[in-house]
Chains A and B, each alone.
Chain A
Amino acid sequence: GDSVTQTEGLVTLTEGLPVMLNCTYQSTYSPFLFWYVQHLNEAPKLLLKSFTDNKRPEHQGFHATLHKSSSSFHLQKSSAQLSDSALYYCALRVANSGTYQRFGTGTKLQVVP
């Protein structure tokens, strides 16, 4: 079935270092991929979305490229900021599938001074 895998539960980084959060997926059909960010005591918000192979959407300094050949949609940022500390979810939607949306287990990003 369709699924999303986020391998890191917790990533701790020093401010200024690059960020990379992993997301891989399994899907029978062509998927839509999303990254959501959830700051402490807030609701999740959409960060990025992509449906096109090798296209790189960007938002707030974050970017992610959907690579259908490797079934990946890793989230990256060149320089981490303290305010980036949050929970990040990768999510998958597949048109005409039985389940509307599947989330990965989430990666908590902790940026320290």
Chain B
Amino acid sequence: QQPVQSPQAVILREGEDAVINCSSSKALYSVHWYRQKHGEAPVFLMILLKGGEQKGHEKISASFNEKKQQSSLYLTASQLSYSGTYFCGTEPQTSNTGKLIFGQGTTLQVKP
């Protein structure tokens, strides 16, 4: 029941765009996105809720396709600071405990 992220890794040049996908086999209530830099804690980026509500940073955009149970994180005009591992955390509709099941992560490297 772990969500699957794709791609596993991506390398970009500064200014390029990237999309990271997160797919679940279960009906979801919410999808959370976090970024983790090497040796640091995961940091919140965005929450997407069933029904279309979103909460997150202004410079980060994401979508949640409820029919497909898939979320995508859009990174535009990438900067060096975007480098890190991106995780999606999903909460099934059957749960309302805040329990997140995380994907395996997508490693993003932005080069000058």
Is B one of A's binding partners?
no
Q: Give me the interface of A with B, judged by CB distance under 8 Å.
A: none
B residues lining the A interface (CB < 8 Å): none
